[in-house]
């Protein structure tokens, strides 16, 4: 069985919103119709998006850091939004695990949004149907595109490659490897929704040097007897010689 998903590396995301704009551009231009906006050029613009980048401050100044957090539908393995739908417009595809909304069947009752703990669904205020991330289902299977382009629009747009796309049920896929080896985690695991999208945590890159590594064990100086160490402020051999 296949379960397509995104793996988002929070250690690499710089919060540039390229995935947001690229997602909007692709998905507002497709055959499913636009993702409607209201008052786009006025004081309070609002509209339908599949993907948003949020920013959190972790810790308190001066010991704080910024976390940019892209959020879209997590394509849960056990999606709570699907069984509550009264019309069957919300469904999870058997073949690749993508959770989709049939815009022609949706009655816009918004019940599915109550049943999603992540707030991943947004109603299109003009078309009055529920919309959500499709993992660019109209793109990833498009054989007229070069194979390298058959990825979700957000993944293609990310300038830092913070977004990986693949089958998390294939243990050898890049996404599975990333989840397994880079500490991939799911959001709100307490609800048992088993989100397919995973996040890789922020990781501090630290150079670890142990004390015994500072001096060579086979240092000839040790063999021949210690020479007087130069003071910390004095120049060393490295500073004065060109080799």
* Least spacing, CB of residue 33 vs other proteins, in Å: 14
Which two structure tokens, joined as six digits, stand for 78?
């056990």
- Interacting residues toward other proteins by CB under 8 A: 17, 20, 39, 43-49, 52-60, 64, 66-67, 69, 71, 80, 82-89, 105-111, 113-119, 121-123, 125, 127-129, 185-191, 199, 201-202
* Least spacing, CB of residue 23 vs other proteins, in Å: 12
39 Cβ partners below 8 Å, 6+ apart? Answer: 45, 46
Give whichever of 16 and 170 is closer to other proteins, judged by the CB atom. 16
Give whichever of 30 and 47 is closer to other proteins, judged by the CB atom. 47
SS3 119: coil
* Least spacing, CB of residue 206 vs other proteins, in Å: 18
* Least spacing, CB of residue 110 vs other proteins, in Å: 6
Give whichever of 85 and 140 is closer to other proteins, judged by the CB atom. 85
Alpha helix (H) residue ranges in 172-232? 174-181, 220-224
Which two structure tokens, joined as six digits, stand for 119?
């707030």
CA distance 147 to 140: 9
For residue 221, the number of C-alpha atoms closer than 13 Å in the C-beta half-sphere is: 6
Ramachandran region of residue 176, left (φ > 0), alpha (ψ -120 to 50) or beta? alpha
Give whichever of 125 and 142 is closer to other proteins, judged by the CB atom. 125
DSSP code, position 150: -
Give whichever of 85 and 135 is closer to other proteins, judged by the CB atom. 85
* Least spacing, CB of residue 131 vs other proteins, in Å: 9
């Amino acid at each position: 069985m296949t379960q397509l998903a995104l793996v988002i590396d929070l250690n690499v995301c710089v919060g540039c919103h390229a995935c947001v704009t690229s997602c909007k551009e692709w998905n507002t231009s497709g055959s499913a119709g636009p993702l409607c906006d209201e008052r786009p050029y006025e004081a309070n613009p609002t509209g339908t998006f599949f993907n948003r980048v949020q920013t959190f401050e972790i810790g308190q100044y001066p010991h704080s850091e910024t976390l940019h957090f892209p959020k879209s539908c997590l394509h849960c393995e056990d999606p709570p939004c699907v069984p509550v739908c009264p019309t069957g417009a919300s469904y999870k595809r058997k073949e690749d695990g993508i959770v989709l909304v049939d815009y022609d069947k949706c009655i816009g009752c918004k019940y599915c949004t109550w049943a999603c703990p992540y707030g991943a669904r947004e109603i299109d205020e003009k078309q009055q149907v529920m919309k959500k991330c499709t993992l660019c289902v109209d793109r990833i299977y498009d054989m007229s595109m070069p194979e390298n382009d058959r990825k979700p629009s957000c993944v293609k747009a990310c300038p830092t490659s913070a977004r990986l796309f693949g089958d998390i049920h294939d243990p050898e896929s890049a996404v599975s490897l990333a989840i397994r080896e880079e500490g991939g985690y799911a959001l709100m695991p307490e609800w048992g929704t088993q989100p397919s999208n995973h996040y890789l945590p922020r990781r501090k890159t630290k150079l670890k040097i142990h004390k015994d590594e500072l001096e060579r064990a086979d240092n000839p100086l040790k063999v021949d007897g210690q020479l007087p160490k130069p003071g910390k402020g004095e120049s060393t051999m490295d500073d004065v010689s060109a080799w």
